[in-house]
């Protein structure tokens, strides 16, 4: 947990943001973020950044000819985020799902700042060798975050 708080130590989190890579263990991140948001009475935003195009998550994700591929991908991502939020039983009133397109490690801290998020929950596969604790996305988020970051350890990639 990287602590960058300026708020009083005991103040609960108000805005939690879960960074969800749909190709990976999004469920684990959302479950952890939902639990913390619930304990703190905070709102929860689930954010996915479409930073690679076309995606390799599923080769069924090919837009019909009459649809813009990015819009199609965005709608699909929103649908998946809603499903993850439902699965983690995040109440409708305290949640938001968001999809953005650009580079995840830059976009996530920017959106966190815009939304006055006070805790980002991200995953990290580890260990990464050569003394690196985190992968590039988690590393970028931790360095650029305007707030606290909770790094959820994910299974090491093989």
Compute the least distance from the CB of residue 69 to ligand AMP, in Å.
16
Residues 98-127 contacting ligand AMP, CB under 6 A: 104, 122-125
Q: Nearer Cβ to ligand AMP, position 7 or 153?
A: 153
Compute the least distance from the CB of residue 23 to ligand AMP, in Å.
8
Note whether 48 binds ligand AMP by CB under 6 A. Answer: yes
Q: Quick one: which segment of 5-13, 14-22, 56-64, 65-73 binds ligand AMP (CB under 6 A)? A: 14-22
- Please report, for residues 12, 14, 39, 122, 133, the alpha-carbon distance to residue 7 in angstroms, rounded to integers and kept in the order given: 9, 11, 18, 21, 27
Note whether 49 binds ligand AMP by CB under 6 A. Answer: yes
Pair of tokens at residue 56: 């390799």
- Please report, for residues 17, 93, 121, 125, the alpha-carbon distance to residue 115 in angstroms, rounded to integers and kept in the order given: 9, 17, 15, 27
């Amino acid at each position: 947990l990287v602590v960058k708080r300026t708020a009083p130590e005991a103040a609960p989190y108000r805005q939690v943001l879960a960074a969800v890579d749909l190709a990976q263990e999004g469920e684990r991140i959302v479950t952890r973020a939902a639990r913390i948001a619930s304990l703190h009475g905070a709102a929860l935003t689930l954010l996915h950044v479409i930073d690679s195009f076309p995606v390799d998550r599923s080769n069924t994700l090919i837009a019909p000819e009459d649809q813009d591929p990015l819009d199609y991908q965005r709608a699909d991502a929103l649908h998946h985020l809603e499903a993850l939020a439902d699965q983690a039983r995040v109440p409708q009133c305290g949640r938001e799902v968001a999809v953005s397109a650009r580079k995840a490690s830059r976009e996530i801290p920017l959106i966190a700042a815009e939304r006055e998020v006070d805790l980002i929950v991200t995953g990290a596969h580890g260990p990464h060798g050569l003394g690196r604790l985190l992968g590039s996305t988690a590393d970028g988020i931790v360095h650029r975050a305007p707030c606290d970051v909770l790094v959820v350890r994910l299974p090491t990639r093989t």
